[in-house]
C-alpha cells in the first residue's frame, strides 16, 4: 500500500507526519502544489518537510499506475479525475460543511453571507467538484467577531482532528459513506471574488459593510481599507445614519466611520503590523510606550517571522530587549520551529557578536528547544561546524 499526500500548508504537513508514523516513510509520497519552492513562510512548506523526512516527491501523473494507492487531497490545487487512476481510494478534506459552500473561498463566503456555522468535511473524490459521498464532518461555530483568517485556522485545526480520527479507518476500509443531499447545496467559483481588486460596497447596510471587512481580512494577504485607512475592529453604532449613504467620517488618526443605509459603523485602525514597523525603524520608544493591542507583538508576518525573530536575526540588541520587556514570547518559532535564538545565532556567527544570544538566554530562552525536524541550536552549530557558536553555547550549557 502507498499513501500520497497532495496539497499544501499545515494540514498537508500534518497528514504527512501521521502517515509516516503509521506506514513508514518508504510507503508515503507527496504531490505538492505548484509554487511550493521548499521555503516555509506563514504556512509550512510540504516540500521542505518531505525532504527533511526523506519522503519521495512525485507528480500527479506518476500516481495513475500505482496499485493499492490511497490519495489525500489536502488543499491541493489540481482537479482530480478518478478514472485516470488504475486502482486507488481518493479522499479530500474540504473546508466547509458540505453540501454547502462547494468550490472556492470558503473562508470568505460564509462570513459574507452571515452564517453562524460552517464545518470541515472528509469525503470521497468523484467526478464532480466537492460532490463525493461524505465520510465524516466537524461543525464550526462562527462568532460575530471572526474574520476570514480566523475561520481558516479553525478549518485547519478541525481538519487535523478529522485526519487523526479517520486515517486508520480509511486505510483499513472501515468507514461508511453518506451521499450528499441536493438541498442546502451551494457552490462558488474562483471568479466569485476578485482579490486583486477588492472594493468595499459602502452604499449598503452597516451589517453588510461589517461582513465585508471581516470576510476580506486576512493579514498575510490583504487588509480591507478605505482611502488607505486599514480597517480593524468594527462596531455598528446605536445611532441611525443621518449623513449621505457611503459618506466617510474620520474620527481622529485611529478610527473611521461610515454612514450606511441604516446605521453608522465605526472601525478602529488595523494595527497588525505596528511592531514590525517599530523593529524596522529601531523605534525603542514606540515599542515601550505602545498603547494599542499588545497581542500584535507576537504576530507573524507573511514570511512566518515575529518582530522578535526579525530583531534577533538583525542583531538589534536594544530592540530585542524592548520587545521582551513589552511581552514578546520567546517560545514562538517560525513554521519550521526555528526559534529567535537560532536566528540570533546566525547573526552572531556572521559578526562575532553574541550579545543578543546572551540576552535571550538570560531572559529565559530554552537552549534545548527543538525545531520541527528535531534539532536544537547546539545541533545546528555542530552540523554547520560553527566553532564560535559551539564554544558559546557549550559555555552557556555548563552555566
Q: Give per-residue pLDDT as tens, 200-250.
A: 999 999 999 999 999 999 999 999 999 899 999 999 999 899 989 999 988
- Report if residue 303 sits inside a domain: yes
**Residues 352, 378 within the same domain:** yes
Q: What angle do CA 159, 75, 18 make, to 5 degrees?
A: 50
- Report if residue 324 sits inside a domain: yes
With helix as H, strand as E and coil as C, how does the chain read? CEEEEEECHHHHHHHHHHHHHHHCHHHEEEEECCCCCCCCCCCCCHHHHHHHCCCEECCHHHHCCCCCEEEEEECCCCCCCHHHCCCEEEEEEECCCCCCCEECCCCCHHHHCCCCEEEEEEEECCCCCCCCCEEEEEEEECCCCCCHHHHHHHHHHHHHHHHHHHHHHHHHCCCCCECCCCCCCCEECCCCCCCCCCCCCCCCCHHHHHHHHHHCCECCCECCEECCEEEEEEEEEEEECCCCCCCEEECCCCEEEEECCCEEEEEEECCCCHHHHHHHHCCHHHHHHCCCCHHHHHCCCCCCCCHHHHHHHCCCHHHHHHHHHHCCCCCCCCCCCCCHHHHHHHHHHHHCCCHHHHHHHHCCCCCCCCCCCCCCHHHHHHHCCCHHHHHHHHHHHHC
**Residues 260, 157 within the same domain:** no
- Report if residue 357 sits inside a domain: yes
Is residue 399's pLDDT more than 80?
no
Of 269, 293, 318, the one marking the end of a domain is 269
Is residue 394's pLDDT more than 90?
yes
Give the pLDDT score at 87: 86
CATH number, residue 360: 1.25.40.20
**Residues 121, 141 within the same domain:** yes
- Report if residue 200 sits inside a domain: no
Q: How confident is the model at residue 396 (pLDDT cuts 50, 70, 90)?
A: confident
Q: Give per-residue pLDDT as tens, 264-277.
A: 999 999 999 999 99
**Residues 40, 139 within the same domain:** yes
Domain count, the chain: 3
Q: Give per-residue pLDDT as tens, 113-152.
A: 999 999 999 999 999 999 999 999 999 999 999 999 999 9
**Residues 279, 390 within the same domain:** yes
Q: How confident is the model at residue 189 (pLDDT cuts 50, 70, 90)?
A: very high
- Report if residue 220 sits inside a domain: no
Structural domain that includes position 378:
274-398
**Residues 12, 130 within the same domain:** yes
Give the pLDDT score at 82: 96
**Residues 243, 356 within the same domain:** no
- Report if residue 196 sits inside a domain: no
If we measure between CA atoms, which residue out of 86, 62, 82 comes closest to residue 73?
Answer: 82
Please list, residue by residue across 172-192, b when 16 or more beta carbons sit within 10 angstroms of its beta carbon and e when fewer do.
eeebeeeebeeeeeeebeeee
**Residues 150, 177 within the same domain:** yes
Is residue 252's pLDDT more than 90?
no
Q: Give per-residue pLDDT as tens, 321-341.
A: 999 999 999 999 999 999 999
**Residues 354, 285 within the same domain:** yes
Of 138, 156, 188, the one marking the end of a domain is 188
- Report percent pLDDT > 70 for the chain: 100
**Residues 110, 168 within the same domain:** yes
Is residue 357's pLDDT more than 80?
yes
Mean pLDDT of the chain: 96
Is residue 343's pLDDT more than 90?
yes
**Residues 160, 293 within the same domain:** no
- Report if residue 288 sits inside a domain: yes
**Residues 37, 59 within the same domain:** yes
Of 218, 246, 269, the one marking the end of a domain is 269
Is residue 393's pLDDT more than 90?
yes
Amino acid at each position: 500500500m502507498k499513501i500520497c499526500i497532495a496539497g499544501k500548508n499545515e494540514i498537508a504537513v500534518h497528514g504527512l507526519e501521521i502517515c509516516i508514523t503509521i506506514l513508514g516513510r518508504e510507503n508515503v509520497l507527496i504531490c505538492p502544489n505548484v509554487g511550493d519552492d521548499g521555503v516555509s513562510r506563514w504556512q509550512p512548506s510540504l516540500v521542505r518537510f518531505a525532504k527533511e523526512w526523506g519522503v519521495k516527491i512525485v507528480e500527479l501523473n506518476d500516481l495513475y499506475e500505482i496499485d493499492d494507492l490511497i490519495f489525500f487531497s489536502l488543499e491541493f490545487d489540481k482537479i482530480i479525475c478518478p478514472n485516470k487512476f488504475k486502482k486507488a481510494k481518493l479522499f479530500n478534506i474540504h473546508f466547509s460543511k458540505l453540501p454547502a459552500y462547494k468550490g472556492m473561498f470558503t473562508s470568505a463566503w460564509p462570513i459574507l453571507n452571515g452564517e453562524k456555522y460552517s464545518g470541515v468535511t472528509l469525503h470521497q473524490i468523484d467526478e464532480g467538484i466537492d460532490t463525493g459521498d461524505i465520510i465524516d464532518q466537524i461543525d464550526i461555530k462562527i462568532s460575530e467577531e471572526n474574520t476570514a483568517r480566523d475561520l481558516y485556522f479553525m478549518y485547519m485545526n478541525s481538519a487535523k482532528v478529522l485526519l487523526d480520527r479517520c486515517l486508520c479507518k480509511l486505510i483499513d476500509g472501515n468507514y461508511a459513506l453518506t451521499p450528499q443531499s441536493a438541498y442546502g447545496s451551494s457552490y462558488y467559483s474562483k471568479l466569485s471574488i476578485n482579490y486583486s481588486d477588492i472594493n468595499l460596497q459602502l452604499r449598503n447596510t452597516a451589517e453588510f459593510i461589517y461582513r465585508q471587512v471581516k470576510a476580506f481580512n486576512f493579514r498575510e494577504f490583504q487588509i480591507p481599507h478605505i482611502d488607505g485607512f486599514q480597517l480593524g475592529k468594527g462596531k455598528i453604532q446605536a445611532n441611525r445614519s443621518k449623513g449621505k449613504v457611503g459618506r466617510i467620517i474620520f474620527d481622529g488618526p485611529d478610527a473611521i466611520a461610515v454612514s450606511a443605509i441604516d446605521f453608522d459603523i465605526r472601525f478602529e485602525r488595523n494595527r497588525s503590523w505596528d511592531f514590525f514597523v517599530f523593529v524596522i525603524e529601531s523605534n525603542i520608544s514606540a515599542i515601550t510606550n505602545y498603547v494599542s493591542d499588545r497581542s500584535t507583538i507576537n504576530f507573524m508576518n507573511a514570511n512566518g517571522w515575529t518582530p522578535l525573530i526579525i530583531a534577533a536575526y538583525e542583531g538589534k540588541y536594544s530592540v530585542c530587549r524592548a520587545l521582551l520587556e513589552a511581552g514578546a514570547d520567546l517560545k514562538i518559532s517560525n513554521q519550521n520551529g526555528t526559534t529567535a535564538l537560532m536566528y540570533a545565532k546566525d547573526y552572531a556567527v556572521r559578526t562575532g557578536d553574541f550579545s543578543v544570544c546572551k540576552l535571550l538566554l538570560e531572559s529565559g530562552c530554552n537552549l534545548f528547544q527543538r525545531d520541527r525536524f528535531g534539532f536544537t541550536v547546539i545541533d545546528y552549530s555542530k552540523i554547520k561546524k560553527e566553532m564560535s557558536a559551539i564554544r558559546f553555547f557549550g559555555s552557556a550549557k555548563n552555566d
